[in-house]
Amino acid sequence: LRIITGDAKTTTNGLANANAHWSCTGFENKVQLTEQYPLCPKGSKVVRTFAFQSCWDGKNIDSANHRTHDAFADPASGTCPNGFEAIPQLTERLVYDIPTPTIENGQVKNPYAVDSFPEQLHKPATDHNDFISITTGGLANKIADCINSGKQCR
* 3-state secondary structure at position 30: coil
* 3-state secondary structure at position 93: strand
Parallel, antiparallel, or unpaired for β 2-6 and 128-132? antiparallel
Report pTM: 0.75
* 3-state secondary structure at position 86: strand
Q: What is the pLDDT along the chain (154 residues), one digit of tens a residue?
A: 889 999 989 989 999 999 989 999 999 999 899 999 898 998 999 999 999 999 999 999 999 988 999 999 999 999 999 999 999 888 999 999 888 888 899 888 888 887 667 888 888 888 888 888 777 888 888 888 887 888 877 7
Report the DSSP beta bridge partners of residue 94: 48
Report the DSSP beta bridge partners of residue 49: 21, 93
- C-alpha closest to that of 48 among 28, 66, 30: 28
Report residue 146 CA to chain centroid gap: 23
Q: Tell me, letter by letter, the H, E, C secondary structure of 101-136.
A: CEEECCEEECCCCCCCCHHHCCCHHHCEEEEECCCC
Q: Are 125 and 14 in contact (CB under 8 A)?
A: no
